[in-house]
Amino acid sequence: ACVHCRRVGAWTLIGIGARVLDGAEIGEGCIVAAGAVVTPNTKVPDNTLVAGIPAKPLRAVTDKDRAYQREVVTRYVDLARNHVDGKFPPYA
């Protein structure tokens, strides 16, 4: 993803290949779909799923989505910590 925005709220998931452009504000608990392009200065309300080019709100984030978000975000944070801690040696 390429993220140039002003703000990304807590527990928001930005999909692979998404572009979030200058001045955009993404609320808490949102999902920005893979490949979406959030145009400059767009404001995405909390708990909203956006997708498309340009990204448009599709629906509210569901409880099932929230469970998925927490699983994925937690996995990404753990992976980052493992890298920082040197648990993945560089290739020889």
pLDDT tens by residue, 13-31: 999 999 999 999 999 999 9
Question: What's this model's pTM, rounded to 2 decimal places?
Answer: 0.85
pLDDT at 73: 84
Strands 37-38, 2-3: pairing is: unpaired
How would residue 92 be classed by pLDDT, with cut points 50, 70 and 90?
Answer: low
pLDDT at 35: 98
pLDDT tens by residue, 33-82: 999 999 999 999 999 999 999 999 999 999 999 999 989 989 989 999 99
CA dist list (Å): 90 to 10, 26, 76, 82 = 31, 34, 19, 13
